[in-house]
Chain A
Amino acid sequence: MADRIADPWGPRTPYGPGNGEPSWPVRVDTFLEPGVDEADVDRWTQSASLLHSNGDAMDIAVRGDRIVGVRGRAVDRVNHGRLDPKDLYGWQANNSPDRLRRPLVRDGDRLVETDWETAMGRVVNRSRELLDGPGGWGHFGFYTSGQLFLEDYYTLGVIGKAGIGTPHMDGNTRLCTATAASALKASFGTDGQPGSYRDVDHCDALALWGHNVAETQAVLWMRMLDRRRGPNPPAMLVVDPRETPAAREADLHLPVRAGTNLALVNGLLREVIRNGWYDKEYVTAHTLGFDELCRVVDRYPPDRVAEICDVPVRQIEAAAELLGTAERLFSSVLQGFYQSNQATAAACQVNNLHLVRGMIGRPGAGVCQMNGQPTAQNTRETGADGDLPGLRNWANPEHVRQLARLWNVEPDVIPHWAPPTHAMQIFRYAEQGSIKLLWVSATNPAVSLPDLARIRRILAKPELFLVVQDLFLTETAELADVVLPAATWGEKLGTFTNADRTVHLSEKAVEPPGEARADLDIFLDYARRMDFRDRDGGPLITWTDPESAFEAWKECSRGRPCDYTAISYDRLRGGSGIQWPCTEANPDGTERLYIDGQFNTDPEYSETYGQDLGTGAELPAAEYRAKQPGGRAFLHALDYEPSPEVPSEEYPLLLTTGRTVYQFHTRTKTGRAPQLNNAAPEVWVEVSAEDAKRVGLAEGDLARVESARGTVRARVRVCGIRPGVVFVPFHYGYWDVSGPQRERAANELTITGWDPVSKQPLFKVAAARLTKVADAAGSFAPAPTVGAGAPADPEVPATVGGPDAVSSAEIRED
């Protein structure tokens, strides 16, 4: 029996690389609602996690017509039966009584229930008005998610790109994985994760770059911890300003000053190269740009890096030695790099480390530019985020023609005249009034985008026709003109792909509540009502259900890096997920990319012709061709520059935002699962002992965190975060509080700014100040005690789940 609130990672099953193929032991995690045991379950329905990017496979327990629990799938390559606490308990949100059951339309200042005919009629009428006339496409914006299914995204992508013909499409993946995609494209030619989770089984060194893996991908962390507890454990380096569980576990923790990642990685590369810890043969045969890389990183000797990043010289040297002498190095990178200053350049520098050391494409030697959301990979692959479907290059006319042939439309219908419009620019056009219809699906920008006061103003503009497709009446849905009730995980069929390219099938276990519809059905209904046609007058969208949508997508993916052609629903049923590319020649999928050092940089194949990392300038095709990359990877390098906002006299602290292991995004689901919500019920602010003392704050005191944009009031958790930095979790919005006060969401404080290449917003670097509002008066901060916010004060009671959180973790011996 395991209380997976008190211990989110469950019991250890140590293992080592051993002889031959190492095997991570199976541990099957199960949680059924109290009063139900396995004998009561009518059927188990196959699925995978939709509450983080790890892609943990699970079966959904159904009794009657209700979901009553979940169980990890022992056969799956990703999790070997284990589940993240969010998955163990999060499914209860499906059964929440406040699910949207009927469409809503605006009637003055109220939303009133209506039928689908009326709701879709309004959307279609407004769409037709706007589409009529030159430039009509430019009035549409689609802002989707990292939580729909592949089939939904591909359909939305075709509607947007070939039906309406607009470049104004993006996903909230812009907030979580845009930098992963940009860094992979820049270094290797196309998106696509080089490594595999199985590299954790083989590695002799682990490096986590701004990746709080214990809280964001709990099962991946279990795998790493099990290696650390077994024979021949990997050495471990963590770069993070917070004292995360991984930082506490690591052999070496570099708590860099927020916003200085690039200086650090430049300095580490310098040491690796100067000490001769690089693979000359690999560099010569498989990379371009080594001399320029050396020229740039040479400007970052350890003493300069120590000064910029505020970490000791000896730690920098020790980190370089750990990275430089490992024989099988596995790196993973996430938001600490992606949402920070010079994001793409810093993420590319991690790729460079692997390239110069030849640490790519073999067991244990891999890099994971992680995703944050469960289906972010599909948003990127299918073109729902603005990129062209199939990881095609919008600047390559032949790639545009391929899509035009596939969809049987004129090539000039497909927007390819400029880079796709990223999320923040879509909201800017809406602010200026040129985007007049914004369709938001499965995301909650009124809590998740930076500078919320501005976002609320934009969403509330009467001249903006706002369509929101969601499960609940979110903060965003409250501002909508039309609200479309959607089915979710467990209530609809489809596939999705995790951060290491593993494709899973998620079956429909139960009917959605009331009149709620599958997202795919909503998009197909819109396409039918809009009567989108191909150039011969036939329907543009020829598929009618998830499986036929998947088959259509397979054709789109054919010959591209994300080739799905040998995957089918039937092949995904019963066994493990399958990693793309998966073709007739390679029907079991592909564990690792680039095993022969041949990268996707050929100009006919690459997804980009390159961008300048400092400005984001698109570089000309001719220049790219002239480099004759011929399958070699690019070593990009850029000088460090301070972030746009640095501490000042008025705002002397740096604010960083992020997650806890118990909540996901804006708590739309996890806030409705009692065990998860009770573990982290309310916003808090993490402060170092040094800063707390300076401001006169102690554990549990109520404080005001202010930036130039707004204010958050939160109780103080004094913990191991680096001095000068404060942390506020971004999960908390306003749907479960009453009153007009808007002082709870971290994004009241963040800046409107983004990385010039990936366009990912800067959530990790805002200048802030902290003042005391009231004494603790006996209360403690509502922060969990097990994660990065582990309290300094031993009096704080431990976070536990109690009897309602009891689950099982069954370790199976081979």
Chain B
Amino acid sequence: MQLAHYLGLLHRSLSNLDGAYREVADVHGDEPDVRLCCQRLARQCAAQADRLDPFARRYAEQAPDEPDRLHSELFRGTRTGGLGLLRDLQDLYLMTSECDICWTVVKQAAQGVRDRDLLSVVEGGEGETTIQLAWLRTRIKQAAPQALIVAD
């Protein structure tokens, strides 16, 4: 059963996203809403990862070795300024999208193995990730015209 690998991928993606939210919060501290919201979402990602831990351990016992190339790296450090903020938020969006689709995949598997506990964790997590995407989209929509059209 390969579920453990996807749980690992999701777990790693959430941890990466946690770190990326923290970095963006630090670098864009002059945008208080970005700082506060990214700090909040980082905590959310960390909590999601914690809730997945027991399942990752349980399913790891039944898993063969992990195939290569399952992990990806999107975020390569932050940038500054209005355009930098936009690019950083976009990277966060892509990383959050990766979590989003991972939740979907793991949810399908959780239903397949009739694991109600896992399903409950997944449903909580995917709801939060949906909101994270909506927030990033909202903030990007606000920032884009000023950064692309107006700023020097």
Binding site for B on A (CB under 8 A): 134-135, 137-139, 417-419, 421, 424-425, 428-429, 431-434, 612, 614-620, 641, 644, 751-754, 756, 759
Interface residues of B in 9-37 (CB under 8 A from A): 30-33, 36-37
B57 interface residue per 8 A CB criterion: no
Contact A616 B138 (CB under 8 A): yes
Task: Return 16 A-B CB contacts under 8 Å, by A number.
Answer: A137-B150, A138-B150, A139-B150, A419-B138, A424-B32, A432-B82, A433-B151, A434-B152, A612-B134, A615-B40, A615-B41, A615-B132, A617-B135, A619-B134, A753-B33, A756-B36
Known: A428-B31, A616-B138. A135 touches B37 (CB 8 A): no
The residue of chain B having its C-beta at the shortest distance from the C-beta of A618 within the complex is: B138
A417 to B82, CA, bound (A): 18
Report whether B150 and A434 are in contact in the complex, using a CB–CB cutoff of 8 Å: yes
Stretch of B59-67, B69-77, B101-109, B139-147 on the interface side: B139-147
Closest-by-CB residue of A relative to B37 is A615
Write out the residue numbers on chain B whose beta carbons fall within 8 Å of the beta carbon of A135.
Answer: 145, 149-150
Cβ contact of A434, chosen from B132, B134, B142, B151, cutoff 8 A = B151
Inter-subunit contact B30/A428 (CB<8 Å): yes
- A138 near B37 with CB under 8 A, answer no
Q: In the complex, what's the smallest C-beta–C-beta distance from A449 to chain B, in angstroms?
A: 12
B-side contacts of A617, CB under 8 Å: 131, 134-135, 137-138
Q: Point out the residues of chain B lying under 8 angstroms from A424, CB to CB.
A: 32
In the assembled complex, which residues on chain A have CB atoms less than 8 Å from the CB atom of B149? 134-135, 138
B24 to chain A, nearest CB (A): 14
Write the residues of chain B forming the contact surface with A, with a CB cutoff of 8 angstroms. Answer: 30-33, 36-37, 40-41, 81-82, 131-132, 134-135, 137-138, 141-142, 144-146, 149-152
A132: min CB distance to chain B, Å: 13
Closest to A136 in B: B150
Chain B nearest CB, measured from A141 CB (Å)? 11
Given contacts A432-B151, A434-B146, contact A754 B131 (CB under 8 A): no
Q: How far is the CA of A434 from the CA of B135 in the complex (A)?
A: 23
* From B81, B137, B138, B149, residue with most partner A Cβ within 10 Å: B138
**A417 cross-chain contacts in B, Cβ below 8 A:** 141, 145
Residues of chain B with a CB closer than 8 A to A431's CB = 30
In the bound complex, CA of A424 to CA of B134 (Å): 21
Separation in Å of the A400 CB from the closest CB of chain B? Answer: 15
> Which of chain B's residues has its CB closest to A431's CB?
B30
Closest chain B residue to A615 by CB distance?
B135
Contact of B135 among A139, A425, A616 (CB under 8 A): A616
Which B residue sits closest to A167, measured CB to CB? Answer: B145
Whether the Cβ atoms of A138 and B142 lie closer than 8 Å is: no
Q: Are B37 and A429 in contact (CB under 8 A)?
A: no
Shortest CB distance B146–A (Å): 5
The answer to whether A754 and B138 touch (CB under 8 A), given A138-B150, A612-B131, A615-B131, is no
- Pair B145/A418 contact, Cβ less than 8 Å: yes
A752 CA / B33 CA spacing, docked (Å): 9
| Least Cβ–Cβ distance between A430 and chain B, in angstroms | 11
By CB atoms of chain B within 10 A, which of A417, A614, A641 has the most? A614
Q: Which of these, B31, B141, B145, contacts A138 with CB under 8 Å? A: B145
A752 to B35, CA, bound (A): 11
Q: How far is the CB of B149 from chain A (nearest CB, A)?
A: 4
CA distance A448 to B152 in the complex (A): 30
Write out the residue numbers on chain B whose beta carbons fall within 8 Å of the beta carbon of A614: 40, 131
Contacts of A618 in B (CB 8 A): 134, 137-138, 141
Main secondary structure of the interface of A (DSSP, over half): loop
Residue of B whose beta carbon sits closest to that of A424: B32
Choice from B37, B141, B150 contacting A418 with Cβ under 8 Å: B141
Tell me if A419 and B142 are in contact (CB < 8 A): yes
State the 5 A-B residue pairs at the shortest beta-carbon distance, nearest first.
A138-B150, A135-B149, A617-B134, A617-B135, A615-B135
- Inter-chain CA distance A138–B145, complex, in Å, is 8
6 more contacts with CB within 8 A, not counting A139-B150, A417-B145, A418-B138, are A137-B150, A418-B145, A419-B141, A616-B138, A753-B33, A759-B33
The answer to whether A756 and B32 touch across the interface, beta carbons within 8 angstroms, is: no
Alpha-carbon gap, A619 to B132, bound state (A) = 11
Q: What CA separation (Å) do A496 and B135 show in the bound complex?
A: 35
A419 CA / B151 CA spacing, docked (Å): 19
Tell me the complex Cα distance, A85–B37, Å: 42
Are A434 and B82 in contact (CB-based, < 8 A)? yes
Closest residue of chain A to B44 (Cβ to Cβ) is A614
Q: Who on chain A is nearest to B148 by CB? A: A135
- A434 CA to B85 CA in the complex, in Å? 14
* Contacting residue for B152 out of A419, A433, A616, A753, CB 8 A: A433
A751 vs B152: C-alpha distance when bound (angstroms): 29
In the complex, the answer to whether B33 meets A429 with C-beta atoms within 8 Å is: no
CB distance from B28 to the nearest CB of A (A): 11
Alpha-carbon separation in the docked complex, A756 to B38 (Å): 12
CA distance A139 to B151 in the complex (A): 8
Complex: A149 Cα to B61 Cα, angstroms: 71
Nearest A residue (CB) for B144: A418
Instruction: With A434-B151, A617-B131 as known contacts, state yes or no: A752 contacts B32, CB within 8 Å.
Output: yes
Question: What residues of chain B lie closer than 8 Å to A138, measured between beta carbons?
Answer: 145-146, 149-151
Taken together as a complex, chains A and B put the C-alpha atoms of A751 and B36 apart, in Å, by 12
B13 to chain A, nearest CB (A): 20
- Residue pair B146, A641 in contact (C-beta under 8 Å): no
A447 to chain B, nearest CB (A): 20
Q: Pick the residue among A139, A432, A756 that contacts B37 (CB under 8 A).
A: A756
Residues from chain A with Cβ under 8 Å of B132 in the complex: 615
Question: For residue B134, which residue of chain A has the nearest CB?
Answer: A617
Could you tell me the distance between the alpha carbons of A321 and B33 in the complex, rounded to whole angstroms?
A: 38
CA distance A434 to B149 in the complex (A): 10
Q: How far does the alpha carbon of A752 sit from the alpha carbon of B134 in the complex, in Å?
A: 24
A669 to B109, CA, bound (A): 67
Give the distance in Å from the alpha carbon of A15 to the alpha carbon of B1 in the complex: 77
Residues of chain B with a CB closer than 8 A to A754's CB: 32-33
In the complex, A431 Cα to B31 Cα: how many Å? 11
Smallest CB–CB gap between B18 and chain A, Å? 16
Q: Please, how many angstroms separate the alpha-carbon atoms of A425 and B132 in the complex?
A: 21
Chain A residues lying within 8 Å of B135, measured Cβ to Cβ, are 612, 615-617
Quick one: which of B40, B131, B137, B138 contacts A641, CB cutoff 8 A? B40
A538 to chain B, nearest CB (A): 28
Q: How far is the CA of A120 from the CA of B36 in the complex (A)?
A: 41
How far is the CB of A567 from the nearest CB of chain B, in Å?
Answer: 36
Cα(A797)–Cα(B26), bound, Å = 50
Q: Given A134-B149, A432-B82, A434-B150, is A756 in contact with B134 using a C-beta cutoff of 8 Å?
A: no
Q: How far is the CA of A615 from the CA of B40 in the complex (A)?
A: 9
Task: Report chain A residues within 8 Å CB of B152.
Answer: 433-434
State in angstroms the CA–CA spacing of A614 and B127 once bound together.
Answer: 13
Residues of A within 8 A of B144 (CB): 418
Q: Tell me the bound Cα distance from A753 to B34 in angstroms.
A: 10
B70 smallest CB distance to A (angstroms): 29
B93 to chain A, nearest CB (A): 12
- A421/B37 in contact, CB under 8 A: no
CA distance A155 to B31 in the complex (A): 31
Complex: how many Å from CA A612 to CA B41?
13
Chain A neighbourhood of B33, CB < 8 A: 616, 753-754, 756, 759
Note all chain B residues with C-beta closer than 8 A to A428: 30-31
In the bound complex, CA of A417 to CA of B41 (Å): 25
A50 CB to nearest B CB, Å: 32
Q: How far is the CB of B56 from chain A (nearest CB, A)?
A: 25
B20 CB to closest chain A CB, in angstroms?
16
Instruction: Indicate whether A429 sits within 8 Å of B146 (C-beta atoms), given known contacts A434-B82, A612-B131, A612-B135.
Output: yes
Please measure, in the bound complex, the distance between the C-alpha atom of A611 and the C-alpha atom of B144, giving whole angstroms: 20
Contacts of A615 in B (CB 8 A): 37, 40-41, 131-132, 134-135
Give bound CA distance, A713 to B146, whole Å: 40
**A421 in contact with B142 (CB, 8 Å):** yes
Q: How far is the CB of A160 from chain B (nearest CB, A)?
A: 15
Nearest CB on A from B79, distance (A): 14
Contacts of A641 in B (CB 8 A): 40
The answer for the CA separation of A249 and B131 in the assembled complex, in Å, is: 43
Q: Which residues of A contact B41 (CB under 8 A)?
A: 615
